[in-house]
Structure 1
């Protein structure tokens, strides 16, 4: 898999599960299981996203589920201009810092953080139902790109799995991400990494996701095994 365009990586990403919408369903359900029933104090715990509390990151995920609803109702004419891997190579949002600040302010505006949880539990299942009802052979448009429906769903799953790990960092007893979602996220990182790269044999899938997204720094041993490929990290921000 070539890390420059992801053309081969995309097939392996969406091919990891028979129905990508089911992976999205499981990914969102695990996030719900992580936050549902948390006390206000737990919703104000820090996450792996610097400066974001659990409630902040959950609101960011609500916005992602809302974007899914809009996107799945926005059919496009193919062909796609990006796929499940090359989507992540698009230039970053220059307003990202403002978005983060807006999310924090918006989350703080709720009377109680439980309000964000309720918003999530209403929105996430609706996004899954929309995904299940969308033609898997069709195309959709989002953020200035056209994607095949399975590829778009794979991007949602990847983000959900990574942010699930972000949310659960300081929450004892939080469930692990579901394996199909993890497989899609791992395949996404594989597509972004040079085919010649060899990851350390002692990495678990979760280690790969955390290190591949810069949540955990590479160790000296990691860098030695990866060689020049260590310069590619983080593969995904």
Structure 2
């Protein structure tokens, strides 16, 4: 997924991070124990995971790469599949580390300051600069798009038991839809909302029989990443 506007990825990331931060900033300790859309994780576990993603972004944005890009904002996700051994180990690692924060406000503060720092770094970066992350090289602009996608999907995860929390940013949802369309190789079913597409596209929800019939052979490719 690419855009002719070089600041579009950073703009999407700002919108996604600000929307997610508004949710986390309003949480109390009791709410931090509620379940999320991520298997086995409470809200505080998911918040910690998002901190580590923003930390990864800070490292990546300060790690220039000389090699050509081998991933873009869409193909980056081809390596991420649900229900793998690595995913299960990652869930355990996050739960253990998140449990070390006895006061949720400490984790909350770390989340807010780390996302703000990663956003500033993304906005200051040359979007065409090559950076390294997760064993791959991509442009800083494509990295920002992947971060917006992850933040938006996890925003939906975070709020499954928080019905009064604000929803994801439209810019973030648009980035998720474009990424999923890119992985699928075609637009989604026209009646799907951005939120529903995000959930079925990442394995948070299953396709109905009617949806599978409408998609045809493409249905076997779901989830597209997770």
Common fold by TM > 0.5: yes
Q: What TM-score, normalized to structure 1?
A: 0.89
Partner of 1:209: 198
**Separation (CA, whole Å) in 2 of partners of 1:50 and 1:227:** 28
Is 1:48 the equivalent of 2:21?
no
**Separation (CA, whole Å) in 2 of partners of 1:61 and 1:133:** 21
Contact 2:130 2:138 in 1 (8 A): yes
Contact 2:58 2:118 in 1 (8 A): yes
**Separation (CA, whole Å) in 1 of partners of 2:173 and 2:6:** 11
Partner of 2:158: 167
Is 1:156 the equivalent of 2:170?
no
Coordinate RMSD, CA, aligned: 1.7
Contact 1:199 1:225 in 2 (8 A): no
Q: Give every structure 1 segment of 4 or more consecutive aligned residues whose post-TM-superposition deviation is greater than 6 Å.
A: none
Contact 1:212 1:233 in 2 (8 A): yes
User: How many aligned positions are there?
Assistant: 224
Contact 2:13 2:119 in 1 (8 A): yes
User: How big is each residue's C-alpha offset from its partner over 1:43-99, in whole Å with a ceiling of 9 and x where there is no partner?
Assistant: 110001011001000100000000000000001124201111111112658533222
Match of 1:113 among 79, 104, 117: 104
**Separation (CA, whole Å) in 1 of partners of 2:120 and 2:72:** 22
Alignment of 1:1-237 (within 5 A): 10-11=1-2, 14-15=3-4, 18-90=7-79, 95-195=86-186, 199-237=188-226
Q: Shift of residue 172 of structure 1?
A: 2.1
User: How big is each residue's C-alpha offset from its partner over 1:101-124, in whole Å with a ceiling of 9 and x where there is no partner?
Assistant: 111111111112222111101100
Give the secondary structure class of the aligned counterpart of 1:95. Answer: helix
**Separation (CA, whole Å) in 2 of partners of 1:206 and 1:22:** 20
Structure 1 unpaired stretches of 5+? 1-9
**Separation (CA, whole Å) in 1 of partners of 2:168 and 2:80:** 28
Q: What TM-score, normalized to structure 2?
A: 0.93
Give the secondary structure class of the aligned counterpart of 2:132. Answer: strand
Structure 2 unpaired stretches of 5+? none
Contact 1:58 1:120 in 2 (8 A): yes
